[in-house]
């Protein structure tokens, strides 16, 4: 009994894992946002901006650097014990520390910090804007697959209808109700519909491959989306005034925010350029010490050499006064301890440094003019972005309204074509309509069905674009 239950569980688990994963729109969008190459590059740009901010903060801090050297002097050098020039090798070690801090630099550090904060904000806006564009692209590709699948269903359904009509027509020919040519006409129609099914299957496959490539998936063959029936959504957003949607779009869309941030960045670029006209005051401090590895003289030894030197006479007796002569030699010892020398030979230096720009070959003034032009260009681009957004909103609103009207018209046409097809079928079954006219009626009915599907998904996407401008997420289609 246990073996039977175990086998049963294994079959269930195997069937579950063997099923092909089908993606929802929410999963497709999230996966694209996590794996898209452009978005990954945008995330790296954001990290780069954050690093640049740390550089701007670091400009307020003092610099500190250390130095050290050890040298060998080989050749003719003065012997410090004898004072004579000799061929010898001497060694020296020196150490130092230096620090510098900008006290005033034309407010460049402050402006650089403000600019780095704006650069981070601009990078975030750029990243979010790319995410919105990718979301729209994925939604459009997702809807294209749904449209192609609906088209395939229609083609297969019509093929089944034609196949049934062909069987019925063969019976009518045998009964002598309709001529044999009608059967041949239906067979030709059936062959044409088979070709249309193949084309529809290829369209489904290509649209799935396109979305899989957008998601950067390698397994194109097994990729598929959830088969759900998406109805035409009910919304009141099309009744909104264009000005309201435009105002909402200016608050939520990143195109305007990016252009506004670029203006502010250009303003700080101009401030930084003007700061180069002002003097720079900085403070500095230095510490240095050194050590030598040569022997040193610590005293002098005096030894009588057995001779005397007259230094005068005694006036009373005329006796000569002499003094003994001495031979002197220096007392030599090894070098002091290394750290003792560092302590004895150290020194400090500190002060202020003022740099006043006087003439720089017009580079500073030209840079100011250049940044002034960039600021004006950014303001123009902001104005153009606002105009473009208004145009896009008006266009998207008109497109959505037109798509809805086209869908309503297609639905009415389908209802009429349905009735006409049913009437033609009844007449054909009793021999009152030839196969050519019946095929024409059926073809118009198929076209009406396809047009309803096309206008339906066209309207759904264009409606999502309007909702996108209005700040509504694109994750759900209903």
- Give residue 80's pLDDT: 57
- Give residue 283's pLDDT: 93
Closest CA to 375 of 270, 271, 275, 274: 270
Gap between the Cα atoms of 409 and 415, Å rounded: 10
Gap between the Cα atoms of 82 and 332, Å rounded: 10
3-class secondary structure per residue, 74-93: EEEEECCCCCCEEEEEEEEE
In the predicted model, is pLDDT for residue 304 greater than 80?
no
For residues 62-86, give the mean pLDDT: 78
Contact 112, 56 (CB under 8 A): yes
In the predicted model, is pLDDT for residue 233 greater than 80?
no
In the predicted model, is pLDDT for residue 252 greater than 90?
no
In the predicted model, is pLDDT for residue 276 greater than 70?
yes
DSSP bridge pairs for 347: 288
- Give residue 155's pLDDT: 86
Structure tokens given for 93: 């070690």
DSSP bridge pairs for 329: 301
The C-alpha angle 261, 267, 272, rounded to 5 degrees, equals 125
- The residue that leads in pLDDT, 2 or 196, is 196
- Give residue 282's pLDDT: 93
In the predicted model, is pLDDT for residue 83 greater than 60?
yes
Mean pLDDT, the chain, whole residue set: 83
Task: Count Cα atoms within 13 angstroms, Cβ side, for 344.
Answer: 9
Confidence of residue 43 (pLDDT cuts 50, 70, 90): very high
Confidence of residue 279 (pLDDT cuts 50, 70, 90): very high
Contact 127, 266 (CB under 8 A): no
pLDDT in tens, 345-394: 888 999 999 999 888 888 889 999 999 999 999 999 999 999 999 998 89
Confidence of residue 126 (pLDDT cuts 50, 70, 90): very high
In the predicted model, is pLDDT for residue 15 greater than 50?
no
Confidence of residue 3 (pLDDT cuts 50, 70, 90): very low
Confidence of residue 54 (pLDDT cuts 50, 70, 90): very high
For residues 233-262, give the mean pLDDT: 86
Confidence of residue 475 (pLDDT cuts 50, 70, 90): low
pLDDT in tens, 188-211: 888 888 898 999 999 999 999 999
Q: What percentage of the chain reaches a pLDDT higher than 70?
A: 90
In the predicted model, is pLDDT for residue 267 greater than 50?
yes
Closest CA to 28 of 216, 274, 163: 216
pLDDT in tens, 335-345: 777 777 788 88
């Amino acid at each position: 009994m246990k073996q039977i239950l175990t086998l049963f569980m294994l079959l269930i688990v195997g069937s579950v894992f063997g099923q092909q994963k089908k993606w929802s729109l929410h999963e497709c969008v999230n996966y694209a946002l996590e794996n898209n190459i452009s978005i990954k590059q945008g995330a790296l740009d954001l990290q780069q901006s954050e690093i640049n901010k740390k550089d701007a903060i670091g400009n307020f801090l003092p610099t500190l650097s250390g130095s050290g050297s050890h040298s060998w002097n080989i050749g003719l050098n003065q012997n410090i014990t004898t004072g004579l020039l000799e061929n010898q090798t001497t060694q020296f070690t020196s150490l130092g520390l230096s620090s510098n801090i900008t006290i005033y630099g034309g407010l460049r550090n402050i402006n650089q910090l403000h600019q780095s904060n704006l650069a981070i904000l601009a990078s975030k806006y750029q990243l979010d804007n790319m995410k919105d564009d990718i979301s729209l692209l994925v939604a459009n590709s997702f809807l294209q697959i749904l449209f192609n699948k609906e088209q395939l269903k229609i083609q297969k359904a019509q093929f089944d209808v034609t196949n049934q009509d062909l069987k019925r027509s063969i019976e009518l020919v045998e009964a002598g109700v309709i001529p044999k040519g009608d059967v041949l006409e239906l067979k030709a129609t059936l062959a044409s519909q088979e070709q249309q099914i193949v084309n529809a299957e290829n369209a489904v496959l290509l649209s799935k491959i396109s979305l899989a490539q957008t998601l950067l998936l390698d397994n194109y063959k097994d990729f598929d989306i959830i088969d759900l029936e998406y109805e035409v959504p009910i919304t009141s957003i099309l009744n909104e005034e264009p000005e309201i949607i435009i105002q909402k779009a200016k608050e939520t869309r990143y195109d305007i925010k990016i252009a506004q941030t670029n203006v502010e960045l250009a303003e700080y670029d101009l401030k930084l350029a003007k700061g180069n006209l002002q003097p720079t005051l900085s403070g500095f401090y230095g510490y240095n010490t050194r050590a030598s590895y040569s022997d040193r003289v610590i005293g002098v030894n005096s030894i009588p050499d057995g001779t005397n030197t007259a230094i005068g006479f005694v006036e009373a007796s005329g006796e000569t006064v002499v003094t003994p002569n001495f031979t002197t030699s220096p007392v030599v010892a090894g070098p002091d301890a290394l750290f003792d020398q560092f302590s004895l030979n150290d020194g400090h230096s500190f002060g202020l440094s003022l740099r006043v720009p006087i003439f720089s070959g017009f580079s500073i003034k030209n840079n100011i003019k250049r940044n002034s032009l960039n600021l004006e260009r950014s303001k123009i681009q902001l104005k153009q972005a606002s105009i473009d957004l208004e145009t896009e909103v008006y266009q998207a609103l008109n497109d959505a309204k037109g798509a809805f009207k086209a869908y309503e018209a297609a639905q009415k046409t389908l209802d009429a074509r349905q009735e006409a097809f049913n009437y033609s079928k009844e007449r054909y079954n009793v021999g009152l309509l030839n196969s050519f006219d019946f095929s024409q009626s059926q073809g118009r009915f198929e076209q009406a069905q396809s047009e309803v599907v096309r206008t339906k998904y066209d309207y759904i996407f264009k409606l999502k674009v309007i909702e996108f401008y209005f700040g509504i997420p694109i994750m759900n289609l209903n």
